[in-house]
Structure 1
Amino acid sequence: MIAVLRTPRFLLRQPQLGDAELIARYLNDYDVAGNLARVPYPYHLSDAKAWLRTRVPGLPVEETNFSIELAGEGFAGHVGFHRGPQGPIIGYWLGKPFWGRGIMSEAVEASLDWFFSASAAPVVYSGVFHFNAASLAIQTKLGFTETGRSTLLCLARGAELEHIDTQLTRSVWKARHT
């Protein structure tokens, strides 16, 4: 069973079928989907339901995902891990009504605490499209370092875009907490 993580302001919990309508609403916003590599635009309820069917119990740590549930407001976004060619990758998104409140920094920090305690992985990879300064600021604040530039397909934009590649090592993460 997946962990439920609590932060001072919200819960990080396993995605549920009941999240589908809000996932579809928030990801069917070009300003959100256009910052993500693996999300098409337009994004439909059927896309959300299909993805949620892949979130089954017993997935490895490197494939664990959390829905962000704000007290009194409900589902707000998502943070999760998936396997990449070099190792685990963290990705995240937040519905536009919740932008600018520091929610994602708190969610990514809590999920990284959980990940490094539940896994032996020495590094977590991530990155942002070159125009996503807000997401890059979150990563920089949490200790990610730029490792280079690449191009990555953005499904929503239908194009290969410049991508800033980042990583966070276990040793850097642990040093933040000492």
Structure 2
Amino acid sequence: MDIGSCWKNNGKPCDGDVTSDVTRYSEMIINPDTTPWCNPSNNLRLCPPYHTFANGTQVHRNNTRHFPYDAYHVYCSPGNGKYLEEPFNYCDAYSNPQPQEILQILPHPVWGEYGYPTRKGEGWIGDGRSWELDVGRLSQSLYFYQDPGTKPVERHWTSVDLGTEIYVSGNEVAEWTVSHFDIIVPDKY
């Protein structure tokens, strides 16, 4: 599942200005061979600065006892962020020369409350069950950069993508099967 949207670092909606608009993505990677690049020993810059648990409790990435490092594959900051917390990692300008922010998560127990896979291999080949994902609630708890002192953005995710992306390829072929897909929008939206 990949959700995407766009808002400026000050929380205002995107308006087509490619220097201040930031495309933001959250992606769940279910390939069980994927290991987290986010870790406290040598790649803290690849972790989001904060994790917010389903109950609203926030924990900083420096808190090695409570931060769920294995829940994150990689995080990269928007290239136009003026107040990024050190250490940081800019998103790859090769894939998109305009500012973007990407958060890739991995199956982990912290995502279970939102209906997402909690262990490696769930949702992968041989696990053909149905999933009911609370994408909106999860997206509200994920860290995305915003300039300090600005009004928190009201997140509207304008794209929902489901499928494969081959990140590093040696001539792989991917097959993806979806038998049923519903998007449920609450009445109180």
- Same fold judged by TM-score > 0.5? no
Q: Which has the higher strand share?
A: 1
Q: Which has the larger radius of gyration?
A: 2
Higher relative contact order (CA 8 A, sep 6+): 2
So what's the TM-score if we normalise by structure 1? 0.31
Q: Which has the higher helix share?
A: 1
